[in-house]
Amino acid sequence: MSSKTISIELDVYRRLKRAKQARGQSFSELLRSVPLPNEKVPLDVFLGGLKSLLQRDPLAGDSFEVWERAQKEDLVPEVSN
């Protein structure tokens, strides 16, 4: 596979290097996982990211109850002609 050399600022390189080491990935693998604007993400990738996020920062125990209550209390907006 061909490669390209890019220039980035030193602080960005250090952040990427830490993330690369923590995940055990190459720079290409790490950068490939970054979602770009207007780019569709496969469902399995999205769900994997969501799972990782929730493992790092779980929802409060009553989150679903709060959402269900809010949905039940949410009224259909009145439309005026």
- pTM for this entry: 0.46
The answer to whether residue 54 is domain-embedded is yes
Distance between start and end Cα atoms, the chain: 62
The answer to whether residue 5 is domain-embedded is no
Domain hosting 14: range is 10-33+40-73
Cβ–Cβ under 8 Å, residues 35 and 41: yes
What is the tally of structural domains in the chain? Answer: 1
Q: What is the pLDDT of residue 81?
A: 65
The answer to whether residue 16 is domain-embedded is yes
Structure tokens at 66: 């709060």
The answer to whether residue 24 is domain-embedded is yes
Cβ–Cβ under 8 Å, residues 36 and 43: no
Condensed to tens digits (0 to 9), the pLDDT of residues 56-71 reads 888 888 888 888 888 8
Condensed to tens digits (0 to 9), the pLDDT of residues 2-28 reads 889 999 999 999 999 999 999 899 999
The helix/strand/coil state of 72 is helix
